[in-house]
Amino acid sequence: MQANRRQIFAALLAATAARKLTAADGVTIPGKRPLILHNDRPEDLETPVRYLNTWITPVDAFFVRQHIPRPPVIDPAAYRLTINGMVSKESRITLADLQKLPQHTVPATLECTGNGRAFFTPKLPGIQWGRGGVGNAEWTGPRLSDVLKLAGVDTTAKFLEIDGADSGVLQTPDFVRCMPMEKAMHPATLLALKMNGETPDIHGFPARLIVPGWDGTSWVKWVIRLTPAAKESGGFFMNPGYRYPKYALPPGTPARPAELEVIEGMPVKSSLTSPEDQSKIPLAPTVIRGFAWAGENAIERVEVSTDGGSKWQNAQLSTQKLPFAWRLFSLNWTPREPGYYTILSRATDTAGRVQPIVPAWNPSGYLWNGIDKVGVTVEKV
């Protein structure tokens, strides 16, 4: 019996050692505040919601999502953008050429397509994003339409293929995306040269795509090639990657590939930032805060409940009612007595879309936009 116990004990020790391998070992990302570490190579970092209480998310707090390793830092002087395919003159554009074009600034919310994946049941493979795979920034650069005109884009082209400088390891696919020319030529679609006035390499500069209202995957970083084309092109990150079922599926079941569609505009959504989930607050007046956004639409209304959804109140919204960018909301709240409270937020957009109670489960865990919910314990001081 003794020997058996020893054997079991040794096995348990080995299992503990296995777990230790994954323990924190002080990963630091230069230029970034402490962020939730989903992965360090390549970097996948989530913003804790307490940093999301301002309209503009500072670069040092902005989330990071990378599918494949970052390319070597691009020397601005050596940067070249190839424009080929359905154009009158194949071109290699310099950063100076892009800087000479009229510069526009678009405030827009960038959200990872899989933000909120961790909330789905059954669980799904991929980065287990909570609320913070999202941020709102001011993006500045030439319109993508003006860039394409430099090469004499053929107006009959229906799609635009975009290649980033990041490429896969072994046979991991190259990061290439494709979008309808209509969205590429939209005046708010930019080839950004700046993010909040900065040029952070980790966010895809010297040049990254800004596709306001569309999922983060469309916002290709380190853009080095634009190819107008007649037909939609493929690649893993277009198919089977980043597709969503046309018809809702029973949770946990696979989709028929033919019934999966490319994700474009994002749904309506709100997230609570304060008080934080499962925190304790004193029995005193407090402010409930959060942000809400709606893809290509603007936010019309955010309602908040402090009693699990029996009664709802309209929250106050920040003044800027813009498409593409989030609005901050707040509600003054004085809890009457101590105890545990379930706070909910529900957004409605200018097109009348309302955040659902139960978002549709889907096999890749995209587009979570369920009514947000935090629990808070109010204590007598």
Partner 1 sequence: MRTALTLLAFTVAAFAADQATLDKGMKEEQRTCIPCHSLRIIHSNRLSRAGWNKELDKMAGWGTKYSDREAILEYLVANFGDDKPVAPPELTTDGTVKK
| Residue ranges that bind partner 1, judged by CB under 8 A | 4, 7-8, 11, 14-15, 18-19, 21-22, 24, 26-42, 44-45, 48, 60, 118, 122-123, 125-128, 130, 168-173
Cβ closest to partner 1, residue 126 vs residue 265: 126
Q: What is the total residue count of the chain?
A: 381
The helix/strand/coil state of 50 is helix
Cβ closest to partner 1, residue 128 vs residue 218: 128
Quote the tokens at residue 137.
């920034």
Cβ closest to partner 1, residue 6 vs residue 231: 6
Contact 174, 134 (CB under 8 A): no
Q: Give the type of residue at 224.
A: I
Work out how close the CB of 77 gets to partner 1 at its nearest, in angstroms, rounded to a whole number. 26
Q: Give the type of residue at 203.
A: H
Cβ closest to partner 1, residue 48 vs residue 71: 48
Cβ closest to partner 1, residue 118 vs residue 185: 118
Work out how close the CB of 46 gets to partner 1 at its nearest, in angstroms, rounded to a whole number. 8
Quote the tokens at residue 82.
């190839």
Contact 114, 129 (CB under 8 A): yes
Instruction: Look at residues 135, 132, 116, 133 and name the one whose alpha carbon lies nearest to residue 365.
Output: 116
Work out how close the CB of 159 gets to partner 1 at its nearest, in angstroms, rounded to a whole number. 26
Cα distance between residue 88 and residue 91, in whole Å:
9
Strands in 316-317's sheet, in edge-to-edge order, are 269-274, 286-293, 327-333, 316-317
Contact 229, 161 (CB under 8 A): yes
Cβ closest to partner 1, residue 46 vs residue 349: 46
Work out how close the CB of 171 gets to partner 1 at its nearest, in angstroms, rounded to a whole number. 4
Find the angle CA(245)-CA(144)-CA(173) to the nearest 5 degrees: 50
Work out how close the CB of 22 gets to partner 1 at its nearest, in angstroms, rounded to a whole number. 5
Work out how close the CB of 371 gets to partner 1 at its nearest, in angstroms, rounded to a whole number. 21
Cα distance between residue 297 and residue 136, in whole Å:
15
